[in-house]
Structure 1
């Protein structure tokens, strides 16, 4: 394993970390609390609930925040911005939340550590892995997208995808009478050799560090054995707790007892118990849809009865069996974030490229919903795009059965709202903004409207005519301590209406 040791960031790295951390926090503040107002100097200005005026440099990643004082506009750094946001939230909600304020600071410190580590590490040669490990900003509308649970940098940096980490897995063996599994987990048995009477159980080393004390009894009485480490290294993907084993053409998803964005990323029992049903529904929906789109199946899980959630591992399909020959798979979120090898940086015809992208991404998600009652959470981090040698999108791949919702147990209206948020607001709007940023004057939204209009869903006409789209309120969700799965939305101007001046979400 290549260890990535933390180093104090330089002044230049510190300034970049401030900018990286401020952008998503400003996006949240602007989306969830602020009201636009005029600025004679032409910047984007907003009135906050307490009456203060804030302005930023325009763009999909707002920068250079300033607040208005008696002496004029004054620049605020990230620490002061966190304080300002906390004050506005207390005023708006009547509640305090020191935990989230600490997470926002932790997120900025994590970004600084990641930037310093990236300067000393070589990026992976594989463009797919490079795209998975590119998300230094992360979720563009979350107040603390890079918070890592408040632990010391040395505890998590060796496992951070953004630091180009790679590491072997820890191999455990669980006694057969204590092993619990569902679905096809046979791929796990190829990772090493368990002694007679035991089943092989790989573990993420960070998770094992986090929960190791609770397992002391199981190690002592022989329910659990340590076998060493895998002979190969894995690469963490953008999801952090999901790793890619290249040689085995396999993804493995682990529990991680750390809050990442809105949730503690443990594989919860209730999600595991319904995993095979939701995955089977998604697999069937994509198989019947036709076309090149693919679903990366979560084939099954294995764990220990005495540590059901803590030691669970999900086996997910790799890429080779699903990807069109001669193509390069890239993480959709990386197209918006930016990375070396991004096809958007090439000499593309934006209209041609965008039409091809929409043709691959939109139809399978709508078909799964309309024909099979499957709500695929097609947000940027769950979506992959395969491009040909010219960088043109030719296939979309989707993943993560844990996020799939099924009708009718999820109401159709709620399911449709979730689909629209993930696909249009979280996904298409971000890619559209990145494309428009590179090609000034290009309007991506008529093509989105045209692609949606081709599909015969009763919800489509209302979506195209609606004055607003649902924007998830991650800042307010975290501040009020709501469950991460309890999404709440704020209306955002709908650029699909075709009305002039309708800003993208």
Structure 2
């Protein structure tokens, strides 16, 4: 059944009662572990307090918090709203993150509840600036009870809750004349609308982004309704790809799967994203830019598809070729390329989708196929630009073998072929926003060695699987990291090898991999469970300082004019590596192992970076300098949405997690 906006507009949350509580309403401003859970060490596993608390909620409430927590984190970390941290003596939470309703301080300096946007209980102190201003708020800092003063939504808090919150605020010199209007709700619709009204946002933008938020909620709830199982270490790579519970850790539209016309709206009842079909189209050869071995491999694929169903494959004239099409994308091809011949659905093949959804694998074939599809997944429309189709196969052949990479540590998946329909029937160049709908890229996946498991890194930090204890990450369970010593040892080896993998090409070649957890696979020994190395994929997301790349490889490699991967400096390219490697990849893993808040995980990362990066280098100045590297240019995903951007990034000063040393 589809989840409508009205169903989640009414969401409210009351924390689970502690044992022995006789209260009829919400006895605590947080959803804490019950007494038995709190007393059991779970064999020494690090337990995410946020994940353990949300595990007690209904799937609807969990999905609401998953979206709302990411929204609030984006408001604060991207400096859209100011926030301060107020410590508390309460048993259930470390303090309150108080988010202001306006980014500008009050001219009078008075602090009243009228100026509060939200009050968020947190279980640890978030990363702060001066005067207890919150600099980085993460969804995993929060506990699932978001509070506000007002009367427009949610549920009233119990009297003693109101008293506790008011006492905490007054201790921080807030004027709280009356706390009777303190309410609670997890509704993403409420929090987005509250923000949009406060920001005087245009109605069209407010409603468009609200639809994406609604989509994210709907698809996240569907996953909570039918939780995936945690695979065993030796499971296939595709099982790991499809094991994600939440996915992107901070994007406010992290689970959005929003179709755009002419595609029809979809619901969890009508779409299984992990099992798409590949359809086929016949197009004039003169219209298509082809690279690598694309044509021969796709011809083999379509022959198998026809043979599997017993369908008759029509004769293809020499001046035409076959293009694969993601099944949902057929409507877009018919709309934007009306003269293209779509083969009947009987000539199609069932596939398995990776975590990205648009990259699929086919049983019996050695390649993966990345296909354009006109849906918005989190940040962008998941089509494929002609820039990506052009650069991947050429980089794979001309540049990848010459990079400063240790092949024992890092394997880079080659993109061996591509095709993009760049011209119309008259030979005129098609607008790039049309061409991106009819593009495909071939990629050769890594083949595991003997005694080797290959695991999607995004899966390691996930919690909440159907067969897992609440709040315990996948990495701890599959690798037996049941003591702090084991977790520290694992993270130490992991960061050492990861630094060895991705820092040299940044430092020497001016090339930044898009090393986020969905693009990175970790190679693990099945017998020892130790890290052997990594696999990196998706060459379309790189950032490259072209002059440094050419000089270091001795190759006069040329990019298409206007390609967004080319940067004006190596420092600009390094922004991509910091965001994907440090802010996204390693922060999530460190938090999932209990090594973030005490700074121990970041100390290990510093150790390995200091061993790899020369003190007199530009990268040392950007990341490790004691003088000027305490902040970095942080990528602002929500600001990008507000600006209508997906290729060009928006940055704000973020705390440099490499330098994080909690006091």
Q: Calculate the TM-score normalised by the size of structure 1.
A: 0.85
1:344 to 467, 473, 476: 476
How many residues are treated as equivalent by the alignment?
481
Which residue of 247, 265, 280 maps to 1:152?
A: 265
Structure 1 pair 362–230 and aligned structure 2 pair: CA distance change class (3 A): farther
| Residue 43 in structure 1 maps to residue 124 in structure 2 | no
Secondary structure, counterpart of 1:17 in structure 2: helix
Deviation at 1:95, TM superposition (A): 10
Structure 2 residue runs of 5 or longer lacking an equivalent are 9-56, 103-114, 124-138, 151-178, 304-312, 425-433, 469-473, 547-565
Alignment correspondent of 1:328: 453
Q: Is residue 229 of structure 1 aligned with residue 347 of structure 2? A: yes
Q: What is the CA–CA distance in structure 2 between the aligned matches of 1:37 and 1:343, rounded to whole Å?
A: 31
Deviates more, 1:406-415 or 1:250-259: 406-415
Alignment of structure 1 residues 212-227 onto 2, 5 Å: 212-219=334-341, 225-226=343-344
For structure 1, which segment, 102-111 or 48-57, has the greater mean C-alpha deviation from structure 2 after superposition? 48-57
C-alpha contact 1:329 1:385 (8 A) present in aligned 2: yes
Distance 2:193 2:610 in 1: 45
**Counterparts of 1:155 and 1:210, CA distance in 2:** 21
Q: CA RMSD in A?
A: 3.2
The answer as to 2:431 corresponding to 1:299 is no
Aligned to 1:75: 184
CA apart distance, 1:442:
7.8
Q: Are 2:359 and 1:311 equivalent residues in the alignment?
A: no
Q: Which one has a larger percent helix, Structure 1 or Structure 2? A: 1
Determine if contact 2:456/2:522 at 8 Å carries over to the other structure. yes
Alignment pair present for 1:261 and 2:342: no
Does the C-alpha gap of structure 1 residues 497 and 270 become closer, same or farther in structure 2, counting only changes over 3 Å? closer
Unaligned 5+ residue runs, structure 1? none
How far apart are residue 398 of structure 1 and its match? 0.5
The question of whether the paired residues in 2 share the 8 Å contact of 1:421 and 1:472 is answered with yes
Aligned partners of 1:425 and 1:470 also within 8 Å:
no
Alpha-carbon contact 1:250-1:316 (below 8 Å) kept: yes
1:381 matched to 2:494: no
| Partner deviation per Cα, 1:260-307 (whole Å, 9 max, x = no partner) | 222212112233233334444652245853423100111121244447
- Where do residues 72-221 of structure 1 align in structure 2 (5 Å cutoff)? 73-78=182-187, 79-90=189-200, 97-116=206-225, 118=226, 126-149=235-258, 152-154=265-267, 158-160=271-273, 165-185=274-294, 186-193=296-303, 195-197=315-317, 198-219=320-341
Residue 636 of structure 2 is aligned to residue 473 of structure 1: yes
Distance 1:156 1:426, change over 3 A: farther
In 2, Cα distance between the equivalents of 1:203 and 1:392? 39
Per-residue deviation, residues 376-412 of structure 1 (Å, max 9, x unmatched): 1111211111111243221100111111122134121
Indicate if the aligned counterparts of 2:99 and 2:116 stay in contact, CA closer than 8 A. yes
5 Å-filtered alignment, 1:282-297, equals 283-285=400-402, 288-297=405-414
Which residue of 575, 586, 591 corresponds with 1:433? 591
- Give me the TM-score of the superposition, normalised by structure 2: 0.66
Q: Partners in 2 of 1:18 and 1:94 — Cα distance?
A: 23
Q: Distance in 2 between matches of 1:496 and 1:351?
A: 16
State how far apart, in whole Å, the 1-side matches of 2:502 and 2:581 are. 8
8 Å Cα contact 1:207-1:255 kept in structure 2: yes
Structure 2 SS opposite 1:423: helix
